[in-house]
Amino acid sequence: MQRFKHIVLKEIIHIRRDKASMIMLVMMPVMFMLLFGYAVNTEVDHINIGVLDNDQSYESRELVRTFMTSYYFELLAYYDDMDSVNRALDKGEIKTALIIPQGYHKGTLSQEVAFIVDGSDPTVARTALQSGSLIAQSSHLLSSSNTFKTNVWYNPAMESKNFTIPGLMGLVMQNITVMLTAFSLVREREKGTIEQLMVSPIRSYELIIGKMLPYILIGNIDFLITIFFGTIWFDVPIKGSFLLLILLGNAFIFSALAIGMLISTVSKNQLQAMQMTLLIILPSVLLSGFVFPRDAMPRIIYYLGYAMPLTYFLDILRGLVIKGVGFSLIWRQTLALCAMTCVLLTVASIRFKKHLE
């Protein structure tokens, strides 16, 4: 028992000395419970809707008001033409669109109200479709002569795989690339070879980028593998440009590797590196919209998702794969990825420079 007691006391001392791990072990359950509790929500409401009112009558305004008072929809904007509606749907600014034809107030048979739903996220699409149809059926403003036609775009069958497979591509790429580089400098430190780097004339940013380059090649190979399985095995076609997908995939690989490098410069050992990697990977599953619709999250959790590179890459992936959009509609997400990469690499270089000094 004495020997056993000494072993226990020795381990307690080690744990007490590793304050960074202690803080993470205490904070992780608190953070995860709060994030999971608020983010895990499949009940979607306040779905963004755009309106094209070609009638501009009292009846058409009342129809719009009926949708807005239903709690399920939130008016984002009125549009002047169908091209503006199409563009807003392509960019993902709105998830639904209500098109009211000219002469709607007359109630003639030829006047058909169109309700368009973005089907790229089946969870949001089903809620929008059911809610919109119920509102139309219960509305006294839609007489028997006015028809209400629903239209699901991008993913008409609302197949879940068309939504989850592109998201899975991004998630797999993030997990692999972050983990690859998170242990890079930590291994050097634990093996004692970091001292050789300290006395060498190499600059911190040269070391960071030099260590990333081999993993960029590995990341591209893995990305091609995920594309192969997504398109061939799971039969999810890429509707947009394949070349653009590869180019923007590299932008994401850079950002994920930069996260791993930053973790590697902060961590003192491989255990800390693993803990910090989990702190990035697990919240990104929730906050990026990989599984649960971001529209259903509280505003503060929704905006917190913008701190994750995966959030932007999932928009890019689903835009290219499901909607087939061009670069003009996803350049903001690309710019955000590049900006985050520059910031992360700069911080990682500064932190490593301090270690060298």
Q: What is the pLDDT, as a whole number, of residue 41?
A: 60
pLDDT of residue 276: 85
Under the banding of pLDDT at 50, 70 and 90, the label for residue 70 is confident
Residue that is written with structure tokens 């932007």 in the block: 312
> Binning pLDDT at 50, 70 and 90, where does residue 198 land?
low
Q: What is the CA radius of gyration of the chain?
A: 25
Q: Of the candidates 207, 264, 239, which has an alpha carbon nearest to the alpha carbon of residue 322? A: 239
Q: What is the pTM of this model?
A: 0.81
Residue 355 in this model has a pLDDT that exceeds 60 = no
Q: Is 232 exposed, middle or buried (0-12, 13-18, 19+ CB in 10 A)?
A: exposed
Contact 314, 166 (CB under 8 A): yes
pLDDT band at 353 (very low <50, low <70, confident <90, very high): low
Residue 193 has pLDDT above 90, yes or no: no
Residue-level pLDDT at 117: 94
pLDDT of residue 97: 94
315 has a pLDDT exceeding 70: yes
Look up the CATH architecture of domain 47-153: 3-Layer(aba) Sandwich (3.40)
**pLDDT of 140:** 62
Which pLDDT value is given to residue 86? 93
Q: Indicate whether 37 pLDDT > 60.
A: yes
Please calculate the CA angle 295-298-304 and round it to the nearest 5 degrees.
90
Q: Greater confidence, 67 or 34?
A: 67
Tell me what the mean pLDDT of segment 329-353 comes to. 88
**DSSP 8-class letter at 307:** G
Confidence of residue 183 (pLDDT cuts 50, 70, 90): confident
Overall average pLDDT of the 50-69 stretch: 89
Res. 197 pLDDT band, cuts 50 70 90: low
Q: Tell me, what DSSP letter sits at residue 286? A: H
**pLDDT 10s digits, 270-306:** 878 888 888 888 888 888 888 778 877 888 888 888 9
Per-residue pLDDT, 12 = 64
Q: How much is the pLDDT for 312?
A: 94
Report d(CA 85, CA 200) in Å as an integer: 58
Domain boundaries, the chain: 47-153, 160-356
Listed residue (252, 181, 185) closest to 220, CA to CA: 252
**What average pLDDT is seen over the chain?**
82
Q: How confident is the model at residue 8 (pLDDT cuts 50, 70, 90)?
A: low
Q: What digits encode the pLDDT tens for the residues 81-132?
A: 999 999 999 999 999 999 998 888 776 656 688 999 999 888 889 889 988 8
Rounded percentage of the chain residues whose pLDDT exceeds 70: 78
The pLDDT of residue 332 is: 93
* pLDDT of 340: 92
Is the pLDDT score of 11 beyond 60?
no
Nearest residue to 236 via CA among 323, 126, 117: 323
Does the pLDDT of residue 154 top 70, yes or no? yes
Per-residue pLDDT at 261: 85
Let me know: does 83 contact 52? Beta carbons within 8 Å. no
pLDDT tens-place string over residues 250-268: 999 999 988 988 888 888 7
